[in-house]
Structure 1
Amino acid sequence: MKTTTTNLVADVAAAKAERTVYPVLVMISVSHLVNDTIQSLIPASYPILRTSLNLSFSALGLITLVFQLAASILQPFVGAYTDRRPKPYFLVMGMAFSFAGLLLLAFAQTYPLVLLAVVLVGMGSAVFHPEASKVAYLASGGRRGFAQSVFQLGGNAGSSAGPLLAALIIAPFHQERIAWFAVLAIIGMMVLTRVAAWYKAHLIFRAQQTKSIQDNVAPFPRKKVIIAIGILLILIFSKYFYMASMTSYFTFYLIDKFNISVSSAQIHLFLFLFAVAAGTLIGGPLGDKIGRKYVIWISILGVAPFSLALPYAGLAVTSILSVFIGIILASAFSAILVYAQELMPGKVGLIAGLFFGLAFGMGGLGSALLGQLADRTSIGYVYQVCSYLPLLGLLAVFLPDTKKVKKTKA
Structure 2
Amino acid sequence: MTLLALGHACVDVYQGAVAALVPFFVSERAYTYAAASGIVLAASLLSSVVQPLFGALTDRWAMPWLLPVSCVVGGAGVALAGVGDSYALTLVVVAVSGIGVAAYHPEAARVARAASRGSHTAMGWFSLGGNLGFATAPLLVSAVVATGGLHASPMLVVPGLAGAALCVAALRSGRRTAPATGGTALAADGRDDWPSFLKLTGAIMCRSVVFVGLSAFISLYARQRAGGGEVAGTAALFVLYIGGAVGTVAGGRLATRFGRVPVLRWSYALTVLAVAGVVFVPGPALYGCVALTSAGLYVPFSLHITLGQDYLPRRVGTASGVTLGLAVSVGGIASPAIGALADATSLRTALAPLTVLPALGWLLVRTLREPGGKAAKEAKEAK
Q: TM-score, normalised by structure 1?
A: 0.78
Which of 265, 270, 283 is residue 302 of structure 1 equivalent to?
Answer: 270
Which of 364, 371, 379 is residue 395 of structure 1 equivalent to?
Answer: 364
C-alpha deviation, 1:76, in angstroms: 0.9
Residues 298 and 172 (structure 1 numbering): CA distance in 2 closer, same or farther, change over 3 Å? same
2:135 aligned partner:
160
Residues 218 and 165 (structure 1 numbering): CA distance in 2 closer, same or farther, change over 3 Å? same
C-alpha deviation, 1:301, in angstroms: 2.2
Matches of 1:394 and 1:39 in 2, distance apart? 28
Which of 240, 247, 260 is residue 279 of structure 1 equivalent to?
Answer: 247
- 2:70 is the alignment partner of 1:98: no
Matches of 1:290 and 1:234 in 2, distance apart? 23
C-alpha deviation, 1:166, in angstroms: 2.2
Any conservation in 2 of the 1:143–1:285 contact (CA below 8 Å)?
A: no
1:191 aligned partner:
166
Question: Which amino acid is the alignment partner of residue 243 of structure 1?
Answer: F
Which of 65, 76, 87 is residue 41 of structure 2 equivalent to?
Answer: 65
Matches of 1:81 and 1:203 in 2, distance apart? 21
Identity of aligned residues (%): 25
Q: Which has the larger radius of gyration?
A: 1
- Structure 1 vs Structure 2 CA RMSD: 3.4
Any conservation in 2 of the 1:373–1:382 contact (CA below 8 Å)?
A: yes
Matching of residues 352-371 of structure 1 within 5 Å: 352-371=320-339
Matches of 2:93 and 2:48 in 1, distance apart? 16
Aligned to 1:303, the other structure's residue is in SS state helix
Matches of 1:55 and 1:373 in 2, distance apart? 15
Question: Which amino acid is the alignment partner of residue 347 of structure 1?
Answer: R
Count of residues in correspondence between the two structures: 375
Aligned to 2:317, the other structure's residue is in SS state helix
Question: Which amino acid is the alignment partner of residue 396 of structure 1?
Answer: V
C-alpha deviation, 1:87, in angstroms: 1.2
Structure 1: unaligned runs, 5 residues or longer: 1-24
- Deviation track 1:341-382 (CA, whole Å, cap 9, x = no partner) reads 011113222111112333443331232222223334443334
1:260 aligned partner:
227
- Superposition misfits of 4+ residues, deviation over 6 angstroms: 47-57
C-alpha deviation, 1:89, in angstroms: 1.4
Question: Which amino acid is the alignment partner of residue 199 of structure 2?
Answer: I
Aligned to 2:147, the other structure's residue is in SS state coil
C-alpha deviation, 1:389, in angstroms: 2.1
Matching of residues 285-364 of structure 1 within 5 Å: 285-308=253-276, 311-313=279-281, 315=283, 317-364=285-332
Matches of 1:249 and 1:104 in 2, distance apart? 22
Matches of 2:212 and 2:43 in 1, distance apart? 16
Which of 168, 173, 195 is residue 148 of structure 2 equivalent to?
Answer: 173
Structure 2: unaligned runs, 5 residues or longer: none
Residues 361 and 98 (structure 1 numbering): CA distance in 2 closer, same or farther, change over 3 Å? closer
Residues 336 and 205 (structure 1 numbering): CA distance in 2 closer, same or farther, change over 3 Å? closer
C-alpha deviation, 1:268, in angstroms: 4.3
Q: TM-score, normalised by structure 2?
A: 0.83
- Deviation track 1:241-277 (CA, whole Å, cap 9, x = no partner) reads 2223432333444554x56332345434433433222
Matches of 2:86 and 2:258 in 1, distance apart? 53
C-alpha deviation, 1:106, in angstroms: 6.3
C-alpha deviation, 1:137, in angstroms: 1.4
2:179 aligned partner:
204
